[in-house]
Amino acid sequence: MITRYNHYSMLSHNTFGIDVEAELFIEYSSVEDLQSLLSSKELLPQPFLHIGGGSNLLFVSDYKGTIFHSGIKGMEIISETEEYVMVRVGAGEVWDDFVAYCVDNEWYGAENLSLIPGEVGASAVQNIGAYGVEVKDIIERVETVAVESGKERTFANEDCSFSYRQSIFKKELKGQYIVTYVTYKLDKHTRFNLEYGNIKTELEKFDEVNLKTIRQAIIAIREVKLPDPKIEGNAGSFFMNPILPRAQFELLKQTYPDIPHYDVDEDRVKVPAAWMIDRCGWKGRLLGNAGVHDKQALVLVNKGGATGREIIALSKAVQLSVKEKFGVDIYPEVNFIGE
C-alpha cells in the first residue's frame, strides 16, 4: 500500500519537535511498492529524503521535495541452530519493539540497546550504540533498494563499513540506498555485557541478573538521564564523542588530569564531549528557545517553539567554546535537513 500526503506537517515525525512541512510525504509497505514509486520517480518532487522515526534529524526549513517513510513490517526467524538465531526484520518496525521481542525470547545481544528511539532501517544506517554495544555487533546483513535503479542489493555486515555511529549508508552511499530489511544474529547462550557505565550498580536493585532485568536497568538509567522527546524535543546525543590521537590526549591530560576517557586502541582515545561541554559551562544554558539539557550536556533541547536554525546557532556556539577551551573539534551526530 502506498499513501501520499501533500504539504504535510513533519511535526509528529521528528523528535526535536520542529514544525516544518514536506512538499510530499509518502508511506509504503512493501519492497514492490517502493520499487514502483522509484520507477516513476521523475514524477515526484525532488530531492528525496528517507526517514525512520525522525529521532536523529534536525529540520532547518520546509522540505521542498519528497520524504519517504517505510511501513515494511515483520520479524521472521529465518534460520536457527543451538547456538544462535537469525531474525529478519522489516525496516519500518520500531527498534525497541525488536529489542523487547529478543528479550522475551531469551536471545542475547540487543538488550543493551533498549529504549533507543527510532526504527530498524535507521539502526543499520546509524550503527546505533549504547552501553558498550553497537548494533554492528549483531547485524548479519542489510537488504536495500537502490534509489537510482530500483534494484535490490544485499550488504553483508563487512560491506557496511560500520564504525562509531557511521556506516556506508551515511557516508559513501548516502542517499543512494533505502534499507528494507535488516537481519540480526542473536545468541541463544548467556552473554552479558555489563562493564559499561553504571549498569552493574543499577542491577543491584534486582534479585537476579537476566535479560529482562538488564533491559529494565538500562531503561531506568536512560529515563533518568535523557529527556523524554514527548516533553522536551531533542534528538538524543547531539554531538559525537571525539576520538583523539593519543599524543593530543596526553597533552590535554596535563592541563586537565581528571579528563574522562576510553581507550579505543593503542593510538586513539575517546573523550566524552559531554564532559568538555559541561566544563565550558553550557549545561542548562539557553540561547533563544534552544538549550543544553541540564542533566546531560550532550543533549540539545527544544525549550518550546525553537526553529532548526536556533538549535544550529546553539550547536555552533557550543562547538566554538569546546574548540577554544580544549582545542578539540566536536561534530554533530544529528542529520541536518535542508540547511
Ligand X SMILES: Cc1cc2nc3c(=O)[nH]c(=O)nc-3n(C[C@H](O)[C@H](O)[C@H](O)COP(=O)(O)OP(=O)(O)OC[C@H]3O[C@@H](n4cnc5c(N)ncnc54)[C@H](O)[C@@H]3O)c2cc1C
Q: Which residues bind ligand X (CB under 6 A)?
A: 15, 49-57, 70, 91, 116-119, 121-123, 125-126, 128-130, 169, 178-179, 226, 229, 234-236, 335
Q: Do strands 57-59 and 63-70 pair parallel, antiparallel, or not at all (unpaired)?
A: unpaired
Considering the complex, state which of residue 143 and residue 310 has its C-beta at the smaller distance from ligand X: 143
Query: Shortest distance, CB of residue 255 to ligand X, whole angstroms?
Result: 30
Query: Shortest distance, CB of residue 130 to ligand X, whole angstroms?
Result: 4
Q: In whole angstroms, give the CA distance from residue 308 to residue 62.
A: 10
- Count Cα neighbours of 148 within 13 Å in the Cβ-side half-sphere: 5
Q: How far, in whole angstroms, is CA 324 from its chain's centroid?
A: 28
Q: In whole angstroms, give the CA distance from residue 292 to residue 286.
A: 6
Query: Shortest distance, CB of residue 154 to ligand X, whole angstroms?
Result: 14
Query: Shortest distance, CB of residue 338 to ligand X, whole angstroms?
Result: 12
Considering the complex, state which of residue 121 and residue 308 has its C-beta at the smaller distance from ligand X: 121
Whole-angstrom CA distances from 115 to 131, 138, 223, 318 are 12, 17, 9, 27
- Cis omega (within 30 of 0) for bond into 227: no
Considering the complex, state which of residue 91 and residue 252 has its C-beta at the smaller distance from ligand X: 91
User: Is 222 a residue of the active site?
Assistant: no
Q: What nine digits make up the cell of 95?
A: 527498534
Query: Shortest distance, CB of residue 260 to ligand X, whole angstroms?
Result: 17
Query: Shortest distance, CB of residue 232 to ligand X, whole angstroms?
Result: 9
Q: Do strands 290-292 and 63-70 pair parallel, antiparallel, or not at all (unpaired)?
A: unpaired
DSSP summary character for residue 198:
T
Considering the complex, state which of residue 116 and residue 276 has its C-beta at the smaller distance from ligand X: 116
Query: Shortest distance, CB of residue 19 to ligand X, whole angstroms?
Result: 16
Task: Decide if 91 contacts 120 (C-beta within 8 A).
Answer: yes
Backbone phi and psi for residue 65, each to the nearest 5 degrees, phi listed first: 175, -160
DSSP summary character for residue 193:
-
User: Is 165 a residue of the active site?
Assistant: yes
Query: Of 70, 111, 165, 215, which one is the catalytic site residue?
Result: 165
Residue spans of beta strands (DSSP E) within the chain: 2-9, 21-28, 48-51, 57-59, 63-70, 75-80, 84-90, 129-130, 133-134, 139-146, 152-156, 177-187, 233-237, 243-245, 262-263, 268-270, 286-287, 290-292, 299-302, 335-337
User: Is 153 a residue of the active site?
Assistant: no
Reported for 246-251, long-range contacts at CB under 8 A and 24+ positions apart, including other chains, are 248/327, 248/328
Query: Of 55, 123, 237, 315, which one is the catalytic site residue?
Result: 237
Q: Look-up: residue for cell 563499513?
A: 161
Q: In whole angstroms, give the CA distance from residue 139 to residue 123.
A: 10
Q: Which residues are catalytic?
A: 165, 237, 333
